[in-house]
Chains A and B, each alone.
Chain A
């Protein structure tokens, strides 16, 4: 099983649609979770952290299910500018004590159409 697995898409949705992405992770001891966004030929940028209680930032809602080891991202009222690749990112708990490593999924490509 891959460390972090995402549906690569592409997801093509019209403006105003609601779209949801899921991500699964294999390390049950993982401690932190994030969604990053990467525009074409640009660097990844943090979209939001994902907390156990779930969190919302405007049109974006992130959920974490530790029991099932999956993370979700919901985008409401999609905008053209939401078109990007969304990266699921997990910080595993390393036995060596290093907490610096992030494990990235391959990303899910979203295209929002007019």
Chain B
């Protein structure tokens, strides 16, 4: 399935590095999301973009910086991360109707390890 793709699939970085995660959706959707999934915790919503505008920032530290240049692409820029930021980062997209039936489709995720 190639509806939502993410790169890289795995990333190891030091605390002083700067890296970016990329997400692309091929579903014609208007809304895109970043989630964090840590071990033993539920998925946590980080950011929401609808028609390229950020509509939600779920109190995410500034060391995570999202960018949405168009409705098909979403980036998550990372800098000076901490070891506790190690997790699976999932991108999702949806039609963006904001209605009850608006279904989110997930990419395969980037497994991030911060040393």
Chain A residues with a Cβ under 8 A of chain B: 4, 31-32, 34, 41-46, 49, 87, 91, 98-107
Determine whether the beta carbon of A99 is less than 8 Å from that of B100: yes
Determine whether the beta carbon of A100 is less than 8 Å from that of B33: yes
Determine whether the beta carbon of B100 is less than 8 Å from that of A31: yes
Number of A-B contacts (CB under 8 A): 58
B61 within 8 A of A: no
Identity of the chain A residue whose Cβ is nearest the Cβ of B97 in the assembled complex:
A99
- Write out the residue numbers on chain B whose beta carbons fall within 8 Å of the beta carbon of A43: 90, 106-109
Residues of chain B in range 79-115 having any CB-CB distance to chain A below 8 Å: 90, 94, 96, 98-109, 111
The smallest beta-carbon distance between A1 and chain B, in angstroms, is: 14
- Write out the residue numbers on chain A whose beta carbons fall within 8 Å of the beta carbon of B31: 100
Determine whether the beta carbon of A99 is less than 8 Å from that of B42: no
B4-36 vs A, Cβ < 8 Å mask (1 yes, 0 no): 000000000000000000000000000101000
- Write out the residue numbers on chain A whose beta carbons fall within 8 Å of the beta carbon of B98: 98-100
